[in-house]
């Protein structure tokens, strides 16, 4: 290229660059203005939480009988509950932010946060997530699901058998979203074979429903169970072991799961569709690999040790971490250590740690006891001796808690201290109050936002369930759950140590 041509090209490039810069200020090329209503939408969205926070701040400052630390603990907790309920800010961010506010304001010590993050609950969750990562990576869960689906003959049998295989996943994968992730590939293969919108929609609502309803079967089925059990230990000096939780929860989880399956089939499918034959594509089953055998043996050993905790005295968190180390052991394990850490839901770990600080601050400062005393003073519940009425109240409060607090663990952190102090004041069995309330808090089937498992299935591409379908299901299933809780209390729980 000649020198003149090069100079001309450079000049053209500079001119085009100059034009591109100044073109930003050309009115004809400016992006469309954001509508005023959208521009100030954040003001409307912030109005309710700000108003509630201001009201809470004034209310907390008024009582002269509360010491400073109790006021700050109460304000931080109420602020967290407001933000959890009225904003879309991540629950773990809210929990950590309010915890730091409490520490900086002098409402609790810095060591409280460090002690919470060193809690056995935290280590149990880390180990359980690594276990779940191994089960998913090796394909054990998908293999089990495929074996069951291969035995189905029609839509009805597919629904019953899927319910059967989803229930025990609560013992293997400690997160509802993790269990949903395992189930989604199976849903896709069955949906492709169904080729019927109503069958696919019913299937899309069945799988997350069973995943959520069966959560109560296992102590590690949800992080909220661990938080609730830790609060029971702090407040009432009692703790539910892994074996006891299975004794209380497994029968209810099985019955509730099958009842939910029946309700879904009754609401969404007719007899012709239920009897329809399905040609579900089957994967060629290979013999168990070395990784699968290793995972299966480690999981079996862990479950045995969990169930026999009272004999060998090794706590469930210790057993879980030993199992996690075995599954990541170089040359023997099925995961690399970094892969195991990636399987951990660290946002949930942070949330639980911060929520424990808030809960303990309420307890240690006396704020929780103060709240309960005022509630009893304003109502006649403290004088009631009707156990059926107390049972119905516990069931109603816990079953509807997901409507105003979407985070599962947040519900446990917010409600459990109050309910345990209620139990203490009424001389109720705290273990019974905690477990029955947890059964209700595990129910979160009214809106998709109530659970990540529901959202994962609702946001799938292609045909899936609609929010109206979930609302229709919940209008029936909520009453079914209430009836089952009353039935199980009088027919089973009170006879195995959960009498109020």
> Per the domain annotation, does 155 fall within a domain?
yes
pLDDT of 276 reads 80
- Residue 212's nearest CA partner among 430, 379, 455, 410 is 455
> Per the domain annotation, does 187 fall within a domain?
yes
Taking the CB of residue 312, how many other CB atoms lie within 10 A of it? 9
> Per the domain annotation, does 161 fall within a domain?
yes
Give the tens place of pLDDT for each residue, 227-248. 888 888 888 888 888 888 889 9
Cα(164)–Cα(170) distance, integer angstroms: 12
Exposure letters 255-286 (e unless 16+ CB within 10 A, then b): ebbbbbbebbbeebbeeebbebebebeeeeee
Query: For the chain, how many structural domains are there in total?
Result: 1
> Per the domain annotation, does 241 fall within a domain?
yes
Give the tens place of pLDDT for each residue, 405-434. 666 777 777 778 878 877 877 788 888 989
> Per the domain annotation, does 327 fall within a domain?
no
pLDDT tens for each residue of the chain, 500 residues long: 555 555 555 555 544 444 444 444 444 445 555 555 555 565 556 677 777 777 777 777 766 677 888 888 888 888 887 887 677 777 778 888 989 998 998 888 888 888 888 877 788 778 877 877 887 778 776 676 666 666 767 888 888 988 988 888 888 776 777 677 677 767 777 777 777 788 888 888 999 899 999 999 988 888 788 888 888 888 888 888 888 888 999 999 999 999 999 999 999 888 888 888 776 656 666 777 888 888 888 888 887 887 777 687 787 778 888 888 998 988 888 888 888 888 887 877 887 788 778 877 877 787 766 776 666 555 555 556 677 888 888 888 888 877 766 667 777 777 788 788 778 777 888 889 899 989 988 888 877 767 777 877 776 677 788 888 888 888 899 999 999 999 999 999 989 888 87
> Per the domain annotation, does 353 fall within a domain?
no
Range of the domain at 399: 139-285+366-495
Contacts of 1 (CB under 8 A, 6+ apart): 9
> Per the domain annotation, does 147 fall within a domain?
yes
């Amino acid at each position: 290229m000649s020198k003149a041509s090069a100079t001309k090209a450079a000049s053209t490039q500079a001119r085009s660059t100059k034009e591109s810069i100044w073109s930003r200020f050309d009115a004809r090329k400016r992006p469309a203005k954001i509508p005023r209503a959208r521009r100030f939408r954040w003001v409307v969205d912030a109005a309710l939480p700000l108003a509630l926070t201001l009201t809470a701040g004034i209310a907390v400052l008024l009582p002269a009988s509360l010491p400073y630390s109790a006021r700050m603990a109460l304000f931080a907790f109420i602020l967290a509950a407001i933000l959890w309920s009225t904003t879309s800010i991540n629950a773990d961010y809210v929990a950590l932010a309010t915890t730091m506010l409490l520490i900086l304001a002098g409402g609790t010590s810095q060591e409280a946060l460090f002690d919470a993050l060193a809690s056995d609950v935290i280590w149990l969750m880390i180990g359980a997530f690594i276990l779940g990562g191994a089960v998913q990576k090796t394909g054990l869960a998908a293999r089990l699901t495929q074996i069951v689906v291969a035995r189905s003959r029609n839509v009805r049998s597919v629904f019953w058998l899927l319910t059967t295989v989803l229930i025990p996943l609560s013992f293997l994968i400690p997160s509802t979203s993790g269990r949903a992730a395992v189930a989604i590939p199976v849903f896709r293969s069955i949906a492709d074979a169904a080729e019927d919108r109503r069958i696919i929609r019913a299937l899309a609502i069945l799988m997350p429903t069973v995943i959520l309803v069966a959560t109560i079967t296992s102590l590690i089925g949800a992080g909220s169970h661990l938080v609730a059990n830790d609060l029971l230990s702090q407040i009432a000096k009692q703790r539910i072991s892994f074996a006891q939780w299975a004794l209380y929860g497994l029968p209810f989880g099985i019955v509730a799961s099958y009842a939910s399956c029946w309700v879904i089939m009754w609401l969404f499918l007719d007899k012709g569709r239920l009897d329809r034959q399905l040609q579900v594509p089957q994967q060629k089953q290979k013999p168990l690999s070395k990784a699968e055998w290793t995972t299966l043996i480690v999981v079996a050993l862990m479950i045995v040790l969990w169930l026999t905790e009272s004999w060998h005295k090794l706590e469930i968190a210790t057993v879980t971490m030993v199992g996690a180390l075995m599954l990541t052991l170089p040359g023997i394990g099925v995961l690399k250590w970094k892969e195991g850490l990636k399987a951990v839901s660290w946002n949930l770990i942070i949330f639980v740690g911060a929520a424990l600080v808030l809960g303990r601050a309420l307890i240690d400062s006396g704020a929780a006891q103060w709240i309960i005393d005022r509630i009893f003073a304003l109502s006649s519940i403290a004088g009631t001796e009707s156990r059926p009425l107390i049972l119905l109240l516990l069931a109603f409060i816990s079953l509807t808690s997901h409507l105003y607090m979407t985070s599962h663990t947040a519900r446990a952190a917010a409600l459990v201290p109050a309910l345990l102090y209620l139990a203490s004041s009424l001389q109720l069995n705290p273990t019974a109050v905690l477990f029955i309330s947890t059964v209700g808090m595990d129910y979160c089937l009214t809106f998709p936002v109530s659970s990540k498992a529901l959202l994962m299935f609702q946001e799938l591409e292609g045909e899936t369930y609609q929010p109206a379908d979930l609302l229709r299901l919940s209008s029936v299933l909520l009453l079914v759950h209430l009836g089952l809780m009353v039935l199980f209390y009088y027919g089973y729980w009170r006879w195995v140590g959960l009498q109020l």
